[in-house]
Amino acid sequence: MKRLFAFFKTLPQYVHRPWYPYLMALTAFSDYFLFVVPLDAIVVGSIVAARTRWLSISFWSSIGSTLGALVFAEIIEHFGVSAIQSWAPHILDSEFTHTLTHWVQHYGFWALIASAAAPIHQHPTVAIAAIAKISMGTLFITMFIGRFIKYCVYTWLSGHAQNGFNRLFKKK
């Protein structure tokens, strides 16, 4: 586990490589199966290292995360709730999951987008969508839109934070 975190810490040093956005997609995809990928921190670190790559990093991170969500949903649809309970039993028992289930039942599409855009783990959202038999097309659209909004906000904030801090603490 220490090696995995050490690897994640080194990722932003490669941000100027042409293959880096695709590595971000793979990292975002793997988040659904490793449960420990600090993707938000990696995205922010990447943008701090290379502000001009914000769009490609946001886009490819969103694609990877969305594809990971679809595969995760397919696994849950195929193996049922027992797959979730054996993999991560705490997901379905939390208060958050019950609240999220209520939101999805009442607001559907918009609740899925809001959840995907929120800075939270997506596993409960995808599990609820799979259990509720929400179509893969709807899940793809909602997850991509939500994740893309999230990563664009993260990249914009992290790309402009340095200028804001410089103005805030500028000596007169």
The DSSP code sequence of 111-163 is HHHHHHHSSS-SHHHHHHHHHTT--HHHHHHHHHHHHHHHHHHHHHHHHHHHH
3-state helix, strand, coil in the chain (%, to 5): 85, 0, 15
**Residue 125 to residue 104: CA distance in whole angstroms:** 9
Q: How far is CA 72 from the centre of its chain?
A: 13
- The pair of structure tokens assigned to 87 is 């993999």
Among candidates 153, 151, 156, which has minimal Cα distance to 57?
151
Cα radius of gyration (the chain)? 17
Q: Report mean pLDDT in 10-residue bins for the chain, 172 residues.
A: 74 86 91 77 82 88 94 88 73 78 87 89 85 90 95 84 70 50
How much is the pLDDT for 7?
A: 76
How much is the pLDDT for 165?
A: 67
- The pair of structure tokens assigned to 38 is 């600090």
Name the residue ranges covered by the structural domains of the chain.
21-162
